[in-house]
A and B are shown apart, each in its own frame.
Chain A
Amino acid sequence: MPARYLVEAWVALLVLSAATAALTTMHPEGAGRAIVAGGVLLLAGLKARVILGRYLGLAGSHFWMNAFGLAIGGFLLLSFALYTFGSKG
């Protein structure tokens, strides 16, 4: 695996982590709060994809990348649903 490929993945993870930190500084109310939460979970999903694809080598298999992507995406969606349900009232 080329070194550039690994460096790109590391930089992507740093950028996504910085974006998560930026989102945590926002404290909107109502729908804005759910949007921020959705953004945080989306960024977590993107970080997971980078680790799975680049570091764990799943980028070479569409089937397994999609399988793990679907499982993690489903988990994040369920997390978001529980978060929004728990934020009502």
Chain B
Amino acid sequence: MRDDLEIRPAEGERDILSELPGELMMWVLIASELLVFGAALIVCLAVRAIDPVKYAADQAMLDQTAGAINTLVLVTSGFCAAVAVRSREREERRKARLWLGAAGALGIVFLIVKGFEYASKASLGIGIETSQFFTFYYLITGFHALHVVAGIVVLALVAWADSVRNMEAAVAFWHMVDLVWVLLFPIIYVLR
């Protein structure tokens, strides 16, 4: 591309988009995901406002301890992923892979805890159609769990194709999964 055809900010003008760290498309994805989860959580709270008694009775059946454990697991996993990027930037590729492995392993722990939670609900005969609350619970936490699965796959991929750019993008996705959980957890599990 010829330089004189590029659109550049005028002298002294601020290029806001260039202030975003990493890939622009990753930020588009992060913003979209936040909007989707945010909208679902708002609708969930609106459902609560319609029938708070039934909602509270259903919500009381959730395991807050499992949710809290998963919060610790995910924030620690996010830390491991951040250290992996730092190691890769310092050309410590083996170390970076180990940290990515730790992040992914904690992602698996998250899914196991979530699996126990779902199994415990299933053993009580609670499913997605049991009530409006449980429809939202399964849809929102299930969609989030799918993101965790995707994140683990992406972390494994960048442990193999380990350019700094790939790793930064994958880890940004992982932090987004973490970010969604810290907003989802209090609304679904804690606010009673």
On A, residues with C-beta under 8 Å from B are 1, 3, 6-7, 9-10, 13-14, 17, 20-21, 23-24, 37, 40-41, 43-44, 47-48, 51-52, 54-58, 60-61, 63-64, 71-72, 75-76, 78-79, 82-83, 85-87, 89
Contact = CB atoms under 8 A, between A and B. Distances in A.
B48 interface: yes
21 contacts: A1-B86, A3-B86, A6-B79, A7-B79, A13-B75, A14-B72, A37-B191, A40-B190, A40-B191, A43-B186, A51-B78, A52-B179, A55-B78, A61-B20, A72-B34, A75-B38, A76-B183, A79-B187, A82-B42, A83-B48, A86-B45
Nearest to B50: A86
B21 A17 contact: no
A50 to B, nearest CB: 9
B182 A47 contact: yes
A44 B183 contact: yes
Contacts of B166: none
B75 A10 contact: yes
Contacts of A20: 68, 71, 186, 190
A83 B42 CA distance: 10
Most-contacted residue by chain B among A56, A61, A72, A76 (CB, 10 A) = A56
Contact of A64 (B20, B176, B178): B20
A24 B187 CA distance: 12
Contacts of A37: 191
Contacts of B190: 20, 23-24, 40
Contacts of B172: 56
Contacts of A60: 19, 21
A17 B42 contact: no
B52 A55 contact: no
A56 B21 contact: yes
Interface string B162-192: 0000000000100110110011011100110
Contacts of B187: 44, 79
A51 B186 contact: no
B183 A75 contact: yes
A43 B183 CA distance: 10
A17 B64 contact: no
Contacts of A41: 186, 191
Nearest to B79: A10
Contacts of B30: 56
Contact of B191 (A6, A51, A64, A83): A83
A54 to B, nearest CB: 8
Contacts of B82: 1, 6, 9, 54-55
